[in-house]
Amino acid sequence: MKKINVVILSLLLIIASSGITFFATTITQVDLGDKVVISKKDFDQYQETINKYKEVEVLKDYIEKNYYKEVSDELMIEGMKKGIFTVLEDPYSLFMNKDEYKSYMESSSGEYPGIGVYLVANEDNEIEIVAPIEDTPGERAGLQAKDLIIGVNGETVDASVMDETISKVKGEPGTSVTLTIYRPSLKDKFDVDIKREWIDVKVVKSRMLDSQLGYLRISMFDENSAFEFDKHMKELVNQGAQGVVLDLRQNPGGYLTQCVKIADSLLGKSLIVYTESRNGDNERFESDSKKMDVQLVVLVDQGSASASEILTGALKDNKAATIVGVTTYGKGVVQIVKPFSEDTGFKLTTSEYFTPSGKNIHKIGIEPDVVEPLDENYSKIENPTDADDNQLQKAIEILNEKLK
Average pLDDT of the chain is: 87
Q: Say if residue 17 is in the same domain as residue 45.
A: yes
Number of domains the chain is built from: 3
Of residues 81 and 21, more confidently modeled: 81
Least confident of 1-5, 94-98, 190-194, 231-235: 1-5
> Which of 164, 199, 234 is at the close of a domain?
199
From 103, 107, 219, 306, active-site residue: 306
Could you tell me the sign of the dihedral formed by the alpha carbons of 283, 288, 291, 295, in that order?
A: positive
* % of residues, the chain, pLDDT over 70: 90
At residue 209, does pLDDT exceed 80?
yes
Q: Is residue 260 part of a domain?
A: yes
Q: Say if residue 72 is in the same domain as residue 125.
A: no
Q: Is residue 357 part of a domain?
A: yes
Q: Say if residue 15 is in the same domain as residue 153.
A: no
Of residues 198 and 213, more confidently modeled: 213
Q: Is residue 103 part of a domain?
A: no
User: Where residue 25 falls among pLDDT bands split at 50, 70, 90?
Assistant: very low
Q: Say if residue 137 is in the same domain as residue 212.
A: no
Q: Say if residue 222 is in the same domain as residue 330.
A: yes
User: Where residue 33 falls among pLDDT bands split at 50, 70, 90?
Assistant: low
User: What is the CATH number for 124?
Assistant: 2.30.42.10
* % of residues, the chain, pLDDT over 90: 61
Q: What is the mean pLDDT of residues 5-33?
A: 40
278-315 pLDDT, tens per residue? Answer: 999 999 999 999 999 999 999 999 999 999 999 999 99
Q: Is residue 325 part of a domain?
A: yes
User: What is the CATH number for 282?
Assistant: 3.90.226.10
Q: What is the mean pLDDT of residues 40-47?
A: 84
Q: Is residue 262 part of a domain?
A: yes
From 317, 347, 351, 394, active-site residue: 317
Q: Say if residue 152 is in the same domain as residue 186.
A: yes
From 81, 170, 261, 331, active-site residue: 331
- Count of alpha carbons within 13 Å of 255, Cβ hemisphere only? 17
170-191 pLDDT, tens per residue? Answer: 888 999 999 999 999 889 999 9
Known active-site residue 187: no
Q: Is residue 17 part of a domain?
A: yes
Q: Is residue 105 part of a domain?
A: no
Q: What is the mean pLDDT of residues 8-14?
A: 35
Q: Say if residue 227 is in the same domain as residue 312.
A: yes
Residue 5: the pLDDT is 35
Domain of 7, in residue numbers: 3-86
Q: Is residue 100 part of a domain?
A: no
DSSP β-ladder status, 188-195 and 176-183: antiparallel
User: Where residue 43 falls among pLDDT bands split at 50, 70, 90?
Assistant: confident
Whole-angstrom distance, CA of residue 58 vs CA of residue 71: 15
